Chains A and B, each alone.
Chain A
Amino acid sequence: MKFGIMVNEGPYTHEASDTAYLFAKAALEKGHQIHRIFFYHDGVNNSTKLTEPPQDDRNIVARWTKLAADYKIDLVVCVAAALRRGIRDENLAEGFRISGLGQLIESGIQADRLVVFGD
């Protein structure tokens, strides 16, 4: 099955991005496809390379970057939501790109299922 994924909450504060990551990883390992992962609302904070969690904690941003590299996943950060929250190309982690909300709608059209992770 081809999935689209939407992440609506920031890392660490909320479990949504962890759940989205674990879902994506499990789906890929089962042989499903991920069309795109779209970050919206505070979810855009998943994409800043300035994130520096304590050594003994998971690095949520680096984890997305690795997932994108391992499985060639398109990680898209909403431009309007990103600019509001100080996310720009300069501090964008590897594997992410900034684009518009149309990428989300397109994902809804092209994927078999669009799964939303958030409150």
Chain B
Amino acid sequence: MNETTGGVEMDEEVSGVVKKFLYVNRKAPYGTIYALESLEVVLIAAAFDQDVSLVFMDDGVYQLAKGQHTKSINVKNFSPTYRALEGYDIEKLYVEKESMDARGLTAADLIVPVTMLSTAEMADLMESQDVVLSF
């Protein structure tokens, strides 16, 4: 099995097609596995040369929060991986302003540069996508 492309042999059918993929992260980083496994999908997706965007909303905004200390709950702090996304050409990161406001967070509290969108702007972004995966 090809590890970088997650079991897919790149062939004529897949190569050349570029779709807009949006990954919507809505859950806190720990407590459930959704955030971690979402990140695993995003890293594989990078190998497919698609147009990738990430959205963080609801408790999902906590995934990007600075100062995650997970030692005492015995799970790995995977937040540094978000900083590595740039190296995979994944640079379109959006957070929902209303979610940030409700949790008392500002852009300065996040580990990566993001674009802040209102709920209405978020709806437009989702509307413009080909594939929306929600985690």
Task: Give residues in A with beta carbon < 8 Å to B.
Answer: 6, 8, 40-41, 79-81, 99-106, 108-110, 114, 116, 118-119
Contacts and interface: CB of A to CB of B under 8 A. Distances in A.
Contact of B5 (A6, A100, A114): A100
Contact of B44 (A41, A105, A110, A118): A105
Query: A-B pairs with the 4 shortest C-beta distances?
Result: A102-B6, A100-B6, A100-B7, A102-B8
18 contacts: A8-B135, A41-B33, A41-B34, A80-B37, A99-B1, A99-B7, A101-B6, A102-B6, A102-B44, A105-B44, A105-B48, A108-B21, A109-B14, A109-B48, A109-B131, A110-B17, A114-B131, A119-B34
Q: Which bracket fits the contact residues of B?
A: 20 to 34
Given A100-B8, A118-B134, 19 more contacts: A41-B34, A41-B37, A80-B37, A101-B6, A101-B40, A101-B41, A101-B45, A102-B2, A102-B6, A102-B47, A105-B6, A105-B50, A106-B8, A106-B48, A108-B133, A109-B48, A109-B50, A114-B133, A119-B34
A104 B5 CA distance: 10
B112 to A, nearest CB: 22
Contacts of B14: 106, 109-110
Is the contact region of chain A dominated by helix, strand, or loop, or is it mixed? Answer: helix
Nearest to A107: B131
B7 A103 contact: yes
Interface of B: 1-3, 5-8, 13-14, 17, 19, 21, 33-34, 37, 40-41, 44-45, 47-48, 50, 130-135
Contacts of B17: 109-110
Contact of A116 (B6, B33, B133): B133
Contact of B133 (A6, A99, A100, A110): A6
